[in-house]
Chain A
Amino acid sequence: MKQTELYLKKEEQAIFSLRALFEQYGYRKFKMSKFEEYDFYADNRSFLHSENILTFTGLDGKLLALKPDVTLSIVKNAKGERKEPERVYYNENVYRARKGAGEYKEIMQVGLEYIGEVDSYATLEVLLLAQKSLQAISGDYILDVSHMGFVAGLMEATELPLARQKRILDSISEKNAHTIRHICQEAAVSEDMTKRLEALAGLYGSLEETLPQAKALCCNERMEQAIKELEEILRCLKIVGNEKRIHLDFSIVNDMDYYNGIIFQGFIHGVPSGILSGGRYDHLVRKLGKDADAIGFAVYLDLLERFDSAEKEYDVDTLLLYEDGADTAALAAAAQMLTDNGQSVLVQRENTGNIKYKQLLCMKDRGLEIIAE
């Protein structure tokens, strides 16, 4: 590990490695302003994960919002050319109210978007980059993949009214098979369909092992199409990726008004919630008036704060004290010598006892003395 990396926090290291990774694949950086007009977010409220938006009045009296999301702004500014896909990445703070936190939080996000014609290569590239991003943070990761077409296809087949479908979707996201059964009984859904829905909620495991089980649940063309896409991804991942760490999980459900196709969510062992989230969102691009497809993901780096919990044994390598009458230049020279040797050093008058150090030096008027090691 390089000397500088030693002093970086986990989330700071992650930013460096992810940026390098994205640049390697030809993504260019997108820097956005801190705020957008509020109306823009209000129009696309359900795309945002949180209802709450921090607003204030701009100098010209317009209502502005501190950005709760970056994807929307990128899509708004994209040209939306099918032939010439745009690959962008960002590293921005967004402002959201995390559930239970009771206040707005500044959340550091790194992510990328691919806007253009999304073919199977583009899907694979983004999925692989998501996998590599997780790998860069920790080797013990899992990337869950789902397909909106599959879930939506099964919902269609139930022929239930939308409000009931919504309740079933909520239960799917909780892997809550018993409530699905309950709702189906209420609505007189056939036993066969109920079993399919229950199975969908319970399905979890590596793509290889679970795809055949998912295939058995198909009951219309939309679902079959989704399975075909997933099978193609599995085939490619076996050649270029690590398919064992990619799991199938239909319980990741995102808003159907915006997302379609493949969606995914990444987890790291030791972090209690999803750290990466993304997917295909053609509907959003169309809604913002562009004729293109899009796929992308974001990594929530604020969640790494706790992950990096190994407490440091020392605050500094060397605590360098000095007495009255010590030569200032000699003191600075001593500090410089230590840092040149790659040590960290803290220079102060007295040892207050609050600092953990490896060695204690003292600059006296007759020179440098080692007091403790």
Chain B
Amino acid sequence: MQNKINIALPKGRLGEKVYDIFEKIGYGCPAIHEGGRKLIFENEENGVRYFWVKPSDVAVYVERGAADIGVVGKDILLEQSSDVYELLDLGMGKCRMAVAGVKGERPDFAHTLRVATKFPNIAREYYRKQSREIDIIKLHGSIEIAPILKMSDVIVDIVETGTTLKENNLEVLEEIVPISARLIANKASYKFNTQRIRQMCDKIAVICEKND
């Protein structure tokens, strides 16, 4: 009997959409639809085990080998610079990492730039390339308030539609990088389960291209 393939999915809408794809390519796990608070679901027949984890933790589970593969946003991969294989761009959950500031105001180059963000590493790297002196303010949510309250000059955050920015009188100043969901694999697991992981990957790629 082969060992199971462990799949870490991000809790939430994206994870559910991704699970649907896995189901379509023949790796379904009916128990998952039962709801409730259970976090781990197995299907003996096709040898898969799914678990729901916090989106920002997916890469950790995969890097440490608790999950063989997983689905995670590129923003989190960049922020955590995880040592994993990034096998596929699923083209889902598309958005962009961007710098935003109060509408009509341009940050003053004469001062240290104060940057509020949930993604300190991405922000630091971006401004390091520009040799810009910055002061990172790490926040965990409602980043948009920071420039309004003059706590920061700009924010670095994910922008999907831009509605939240607009409603808070902010606008995108620069784009850093486009973001979407990626299929990742643990490097060691990939070696020992090459065939199965590749087959999954190929089938998912076909479905994602159709969706595109």
Pairwise interchain contact B65-A205, C-beta atoms closer than 8 A: no
Q: Is A333 interfacial (CB-CB < 8 Å)? A: no
**Which of B64, B88, B188, B192 contacts A274 (CB under 8 A)?**
B188
- The contact size tier of chain A is 20 to 34
Q: Is A178 interfacial (CB-CB < 8 Å)? A: yes
Question: What are the 4 closest A-B residue pairs judged by CB atoms, nearest first?
Answer: A272-B65, A178-B89, A176-B86, A175-B85
CB-defined contacts of B192 to chain A, threshold 8 Å: 140, 142, 267, 269
Pairwise interchain contact A205-B194, C-beta atoms closer than 8 A: yes
CB-defined contacts of A273 to chain B, threshold 8 Å: 65, 83, 187-188
CB-defined contacts of A271 to chain B, threshold 8 Å: 65, 188
CB-defined contacts of B63 to chain A, threshold 8 Å: 272
Q: Is A99 interfacial (CB-CB < 8 Å)? A: yes
Q: Is B191 interfacial (CB-CB < 8 Å)? A: yes
- Name the residue among A178, A247, A268, A269 with the largest chain B CB count within 10 angstroms: A178
Q: How far, in whole Å, are A99 and B189 apart by their CA atoms in the complex?
A: 19
Chain B interfacial positions (CB closer than 8 Å to A): 63-65, 83-89, 186-192, 194
**Which of B64, B87, B186, B191 contacts A144 (CB under 8 A)?**
B191
Pairwise interchain contact B191-A272, C-beta atoms closer than 8 A: no
Pairwise interchain contact B86-A272, C-beta atoms closer than 8 A: no
Q: Is A179 interfacial (CB-CB < 8 Å)? A: yes
CB-defined contacts of B89 to chain A, threshold 8 Å: 178-179
Pairwise interchain contact A174-B191, C-beta atoms closer than 8 A: no
Q: How far, in whole Å, are A144 and B187 apart by their CA atoms in the complex?
A: 11
CB-defined contacts of A272 to chain B, threshold 8 Å: 63-65, 186-189
Q: How far, in whole Å, are A179 and B65 apart by their CA atoms in the complex?
A: 24
Q: How far, in whole Å, are A272 and B63 apart by their CA atoms in the complex?
A: 7
Q: Is A251 interfacial (CB-CB < 8 Å)? A: yes
Q: How far is the CB of A65 from chain B (nearest CB, A)?
A: 25
Q: How far is the CB of A114 from chain B (nearest CB, A)?
A: 26
Q: How far is the CB of A142 from chain B (nearest CB, A)?
A: 5
Pairwise interchain contact A267-B188, C-beta atoms closer than 8 A: yes
Q: Is A204 interfacial (CB-CB < 8 Å)? A: yes
CB-defined contacts of B187 to chain A, threshold 8 Å: 267, 272-274
A269-B192, A272-B65 known; A99-B85 Cβ under 8 A: no
Q: How far is the CB of A62 from chain B (nearest CB, A)?
A: 32
Q: How far is the CB of A53 from chain B (nearest CB, A)?
A: 20
Pairwise interchain contact B86-A175, C-beta atoms closer than 8 A: yes
Q: How far, in whole Å, are A179 and B86 apart by their CA atoms in the complex?
A: 9
Q: How far is the CB of B92 from chain A (nearest CB, A)?
A: 13
Q: How far, in whole Å, are A273 and B189 apart by their CA atoms in the complex?
A: 9
- Name the residue among A174, A267, A274 with the largest chain B CB count within 10 angstroms: A174
CB-defined contacts of B191 to chain A, threshold 8 Å: 142, 144, 247, 249, 267
CB-defined contacts of B86 to chain A, threshold 8 Å: 174-176, 178-179
